[in-house]
Structure 1
């Protein structure tokens, strides 16, 4: 009987010993109550308490925690949109009592305030403004939460609007608008590139024509100079200018016939091509030159007579 009592006492002693101490982890605070009344806040490490009388009723996490809240609301232009707001918060070390006893569910409380602020701010904005001013929404949420949660021992570290998700039809419409804008810009660039190519081609053709014209002018100038030299040579041997010009033309005629004869695959036919063609051409040219000279002499004589008549009238 004595051994049984001793065994019971040993077991009770061990039980009370284990109930006397407890361990609080790093970045955690323990709440100790004595007979149902708050007794103390214990920090991290090895802690002692009175068995049965003192009780560890809770532990408060002092780390920075994050709560993601998904809020659905409507914008000023009647577009339904879902916003994901991430709230980073922590319990202040000197306010552990308030955090444990004043607020039953801090995450639900924070969620309620986020809903309230977002649904108050977003309906004032159009959809594009929501994307542009998401930082303003986050600042508004943080300001409201800080003011409300400070009394409960919670510090709001930061709030972020991490996602903005409009209705599916709205997203499709926005994508079509963006695609149209990009196609418009692409078309403008393509048109500008085509214009540049056309201008460059026109400039190249103009330069080519200019050089071609210059080449033809130089060619004709050299031909004229050669003809002039030929006429001078013929004049030196007693052939006048008209006869020399006719002789040069006839010579070029026969040179042309010779060049045509040297080509085997040509379809060119020169008319007239009789043996008398050169002689007829020479006679016709001499007659033309003679007639031209006579007409020129007559015009000079008339002009001279007219000039004399005018001067006589002036003298009178």
Structure 2
């Protein structure tokens, strides 16, 4: 009798406790009665009839992520692997559809991702796949939203997180990139070399210009000094030719003195005898005399030519030249 009572008490306690159940946050519970849908319970403490009602399943309402890896080829026949991450969730209002209409949601989403990616990527070249990966992700999201909304799922976002072409293609792309960078470096180095050459040429031109200007200024000052020296000598009764000769001889001996003062000089000046200064002076005087004679002869020749050509002028010309001749 006592055993039966204890059994009944334990069984009654079990029935009582099985009437209550809890639902976690961001979770929905589907309750069935005799195998038929009864209700959807949300988070908190819930009550059901023991042995009649049962929990058919729990639906996660959190955002979930599914990573899908697809291998396909591009328009330029390059095989590439893409990793597409799909973020999705079950809407609270459509838990019934998500639980009863779709048994394997991950497989369904994977199939749609494969279908969209293998329809979009073959339209693009490999470089365009890298540049337009966002367009591929948008196309996947649009197609998935249209298909999965019917089953109570909503697509939060789709991301193309990885693009991995064949290893040989990657090596070729790296070589192309390296060659392009080397070309850019060569162009910059050539431009820098050109700038250096132009700057050096400008500097040399400026140096030559300043050097020429300095030589011109030097010669101008020398000429001015010679003129002043000749004027001073003329004032004491020495004519221009003698003064010039004297200046030249003086400069000759100054040059010899400067050469002799330099102990490291290997220069030999020829002729180098006491008679050299006298010969130089005589030659200069003779050359000045000859030049004066040539100058006088040229002046006389010019006068004769003018006189010879005057009778050939018209009478009117002569009258115009000397209008008072008749008077």
Aligned to 2:257: 258
- CA-to-partner distance for each residue in 1:242-268, whole Å, 9 max, x for gaps? 111111000100111111121111111
Aligned to 2:209: 210
Aligned to 2:237: 238
The correspondence of residues 157-176 of structure 1 with structure 2, limited to 5 A, is: 157-176=156-175
Aligned to 2:115: 116
Q: What is the rounded CA distance, in whole Å, between the counterparts of 1:180 and 1:315 in structure 2?
A: 87
Q: What is the rounded CA distance, in whole Å, between the counterparts of 2:308 and 2:93 in structure 1?
A: 133
Q: What is the rounded CA distance, in whole Å, between the counterparts of 2:245 and 2:153 in structure 1?
A: 118
Distance of aligned partners of 1:246 and 1:146 in 2 relative to their CA distance in 1, 3 Å threshold: same
Q: What is the rounded CA distance, in whole Å, between the counterparts of 2:291 and 2:150 in structure 1?
A: 123
- CA-to-partner distance for each residue in 1:41-89, whole Å, 9 max, x for gaps? 1000001111111111210000111111111101111010111111111
Q: What is the rounded CA distance, in whole Å, between the counterparts of 1:14 and 1:187 in structure 2?
A: 88
Aligned to 2:218: 219
Shift of 1:234: 1.0
Aligned to 1:270: 269
Aligned to 1:195: 194
Q: How many residues align?
A: 315
- CA-to-partner distance for each residue in 1:141-165, whole Å, 9 max, x for gaps? 1111111111111111111111111
Secondary structure at the counterpart of residue 54 of structure 2: strand
Alpha carbon RMSD of aligned pairs, Å?
Answer: 1.2
Q: What is the rounded CA distance, in whole Å, between the counterparts of 1:314 and 1:123 in structure 2?
A: 102
- Does residue 38 of the first structure (1) align with residue 27 of the second (2)? no
Q: What is the rounded CA distance, in whole Å, between the counterparts of 1:103 and 1:213 in structure 2?
A: 97
- Does residue 307 of the first structure (1) align with residue 269 of the second (2)? no
Aligned to 1:24: 23
TM-score when scaled to structure 1? Answer: 0.97
TM-score when scaled to structure 2? Answer: 0.94
Shift of 1:315: 6.8
- CA-to-partner distance for each residue in 1:230-251, whole Å, 9 max, x for gaps? 1111111111111111110001
Q: What is the rounded CA distance, in whole Å, between the counterparts of 1:61 and 1:36 in structure 2?
A: 21
Q: What is the rounded CA distance, in whole Å, between the counterparts of 2:283 and 2:143 in structure 1?
A: 114
Structure 1 residue runs of 4 or more that deviate by more than 6 Å after TM superposition: none
Aligned to 2:185: 186
Q: What is the rounded CA distance, in whole Å, between the counterparts of 2:24 and 2:227 in structure 1?
A: 118
The correspondence of residues 96-115 of structure 1 with structure 2, limited to 5 A, is: 96-115=95-114
Gaps (5+ residues) in structure 1? Answer: none
After superposing the two structures, state which structure 1 stretch, 133-142 or 215-224, moved more: 133-142
